[in-house]
Amino acid sequence: MAEHIIELQNVTKAYGDNIVIEDMSFYVNKGEFITFLGPSGCGKTTTLRMIAGFDLPTSGKILFKGQDISQLPPNKRPVNTVFQRYALFPHLNVFENIAYGLRCKKVVNEYENDKGERYSRKEKLTKKEIAEKVKKALEIVDLEGFEKRSVATLSGGQQQRVAIARAIVNEPEILLLDEPLGALDLKMRKEMQIELKAMHKRLGITFIYVTHDQEEALTMSDTIIVMSDGVVQQIGTPKGIYDEPANTFVADFIGESNIMSGTVTGEKKVKFCGKTFDCLDEFEKNEIVDVVVRPEDIHMCAPEESQLKGKVLSVVFKGIHYEITVKVGKYELVVQSTESRKEGEHIGLNISPDGIHLMKPKYTTNVFDGVITKHNTVKFADGEFECDVTQLYPGSYIDEEEYLVLPSGEKLDLTDTEVTVEVGLGDITISDDEEAGGTTGHIISIIYKGDHYRLIVRTDESEEDFVFSTEDLWNENDYVSVIIPKEKIKLALKAVEVKK
Amino acid sequence: MKIPRFSRKTLCIPYGVFLLFFVIIPMLFILFYAFTDKQMHFSFSNFVQFFSDPTKFSTIIYSLVIALVTTVVTLLIAYPVAYILARSKLKKKFVILMLFVLPMWINFVLRINALRELFNLISQAKPLEGLANANYFKTVFGMVYDFLPFMILPLYTTMLKIDNSLYEASADLGANGFTTFTRVTLPLSMPGIMSGVTMVFLPSMTNYVVSDMLGNAKVTIIGKFIYEYFGTNWHMGSMIALVLLIVVFLSTWLTGGFKGDETVRGTNL
């Protein structure tokens, strides 16, 4: 078994009330090329910074070869970092930048005195040793002869190489790379990807790489950790993550996907797009599942011998393949193929069982903690909604003074009663008009599910999420108000009984 | 009506006139007076007299020492303040910065007067009565008090520009706090130090209001000297002013103030 060089145990990082990393645990094998992948703000850079020592975890442990290093300062850790914006020292030339770490280092040298006794001394590296090491590092990054150049005169790519040389010259056990290629143009980025990968092989040290570029992650990594919202979504090999995404987030984030809602109709059988398909995943019968199909797993054929029939909506040439959007009933499916089709053409589609991935939907309903307020409204998720409180007590009604009257004639004042609020995925609508709904928030996620969109709106104050489906197209980060019809708000009393 | 149009050159005329009458012509006057005698004949007598008179020469040295001590003390106080302010994540650091800069808004003669009264009050206490005659100490104290904002501001703005990731990179490469300071913070804040030093050192050689008010008129610095000579002997006064000009020129040149190009000092990347 490979040695765990870095292990995170239940690491949480919070800035004040804002939790950026929540209870994160994973390990990194020695010599691995591991990538933290996720959209911006998912906590991947924070995780890297905690390993480097720039940020300390709020709770939990970071182990290096089994030793707790969570509280060590960065200069005491056997890791080196390649920074996002390189962070080269502007007042030093290329040589001095690379030699910076070497000049700080002390090594144990063995000596023999006149009597032949051996002794050791902690010493700084000699000028000659430093010069040799810098030269070697410059060779590795292909910048021979750049020693005397000022870093301000270098191009972005060259600065990037100096930054890498400055880190690897210290022979760290782990090299941390924080979106190192983000500032380079596409061609240069592709070149550096290959070079970094080769460097990783040659040096044999562990690389921890942070990126939001899924293609970069798939190309370079041995292992990918997909993160979102400060939580690990999936850990696996690039192929494993691409072929078997753990949930719709991963499926949507990595590669192109068709994501639809389906129902399990029997053993290894699932119904979506109005047809029943064979699949390989097993779920309970009648369970509602998310179905993920990669565009390249949908095959076009003649309509007669197909499972699905549809009409071509659009064809886009993508270089090595065509991306064809096909309308099947009310669903839109994206297909990738090397063959082209004409717009408006009627075609058939087949999906083989191993191309269909079923996963438990992350959300089936919205649940909030709420409090009944004075006017028989309920307060939750930073807002107040009209609701029907009589549902809490069967047969009750509200009298003119707004008291709830039980069938027995007893009057109740429900103000401040704590309740659980449940709202279905289909019962929420949103509006541009901030005043229209009970609460407001920003759209934080949009996933297309074949015939509708799955949206998540997060309120600003308490960061409650509303998950719902809509057929309208919205933009991420839109500021909207959340509308829920009175009769769709289901209330339940909390376990604690109301005092009468 | 025709709207008059100004070219860029015409817009320069007012400043050019100002420059001519208030900088160039007075400079020529100084030069003229410095090398003439009372009969307006060309002469080196002022020059010879200045350097052969020990009191005149020692005044220059005194001024230099006072200015130097003032500058060093100001730098030692201002540097940590600027550093802490620039690196702190405080939301209200603007307020703290204002507290240091605010005294500049009050007339400085008033401030120095207040300081003198304060010294008088303190020196009435028995153990501190030595303060009454500590003229040099009080002069330097007053100058430091007066010039502190001029040191803090350039230092603060230079340090604000140092990217936090450079400190992180330094720590990441194994440097401890001290090494990071000597090898990153100090060299990168050098432009701030230089402009701060220029802003404090030069005025503190000539600011005789402070030395007069706080030094019981016993501390004579070169500015006072020039002022006094212009009451009686314009020729000698001009010579002293000329010597001061050369000292200023030399010190500016030595600190690299004429390069004007900040990349030389490594602030840009």
Interface probe with A: pick from B172, B182, B185, most Cβ of A within 10 Å: B172
pTM of the model: 0.76
**Averaged pLDDT for residues B51-80:** 89
B184 touches chain A (CB under 8 A): yes
* Cβ-nearest to B173 among A84, A91, A101: A101
What are the pLDDT digits (tens) for A199-248?
999 999 999 999 999 989 999 999 999 999 899 999 999 999 998 888 88
Q: Tens digits of per-residue pLDDT, A340-390?
A: 888 888 999 999 888 898 888 877 778 888 888 877 788 888 888 888 888
Packing angle, helices A156-168 and A186-203, rounded to 10: 20
Say how far apart CA A44 and CA A247 lie, in whole Å: 19
Q: Tell me how close the Cα of A492 comes to any Cα of chain B, in angstroms.
A: 44
Cβ–Cβ contact A170 with B under 8 A: yes
Q: Which of A64-78, B160-174, B220-234 has the lowest mean pLDDT?
A: B220-234
A158-208 pLDDT, tens digit per residue, is 999 999 999 999 999 999 999 998 888 888 889 899 999 999 999 999 999
What's the whole-number mean pLDDT along residues A306-329?
Answer: 90
Tell me whether residue A260 is exposed, middle or buried, using C-beta atoms within 10 angstroms of its C-beta: 0 to 12, 13 to 18, 19 or more.
buried
User: What's the token pair of residue A303?
Assistant: 């309509």
Give the model's pLDDT for residue B223: 85
Q: Provide ipTM, 2 decimals.
A: 0.76
In terms of pLDDT, which residue wins out, A49 or A182?
A: A49
Residue ranges and CATH numbers for the domains of chain A are: 4-243 (3.40.50.300), 248-359 (2.40.50.140), 366-493 (2.40.50.140)
Domains within chain B, CATH numbers bracketed: 54-265 (1.10.3720.10)
Which positions in chain A touch B158 (Cβ < 8 Å)? none
* Secondary structure of B176-243 in HEC code, one letter for each residue: CHHHHHHHHHHHHHHHHHHHHHHHHHHHHHHCHHHHHHHCCCCCCCHHHHHHHHHHHCHHHHHHHHHH
Degrees to nearest 5, angle at CA B129 with B124 and B130: 155
For all residues of chain A together, what is the average pLDDT?
Answer: 87
Measured CA to CA, the distance from residue B248 to residue B73 in angstroms comes to 20
Tokens of A441: 């928030």
Predicted local confidence at residue A496, as pLDDT: 52
Antiparallel, parallel or unpaired: β A288-293 and A258-266: antiparallel
Model confidence at B263, in pLDDT bands (50, 70, 90)? very low
Per the DSSP assignment, residues forming a β-bridge with A227 are: A232
| Residue A69 near residue A174, CB atoms below 8 Å | no
Closest residue in chain A to residue B183, using alpha carbons only: A100
Residue A83 to residue B165, Cβ atoms within 8 A: yes
Mean pLDDT throughout A394-413?
Answer: 79
| Model confidence pLDDT, tens digit, residues B131-173 | 777 888 999 999 999 999 999 999 999 999 999 999 999 999 9
Percent of chain A whose pLDDT exceeds 90: 39
Q: What pLDDT was estimated at residue A500?
A: 41
Which chain A residues touch B172 with a CB distance below 8 Å? 52-54, 74-75, 79-81, 167
Note whether A74 contacts B: Cβ–Cβ < 8 A: yes
Model confidence pLDDT, tens digit, residues A431-484: 888 888 888 888 888 888 777 888 888 888 878 888 888 888 888 888 888 888
State the pLDDT confidence band at A52, using cuts at 50, 70 and 90.
very high
Between chains, do B263 and A85 touch, taking CB under 8 Å as contact?
no
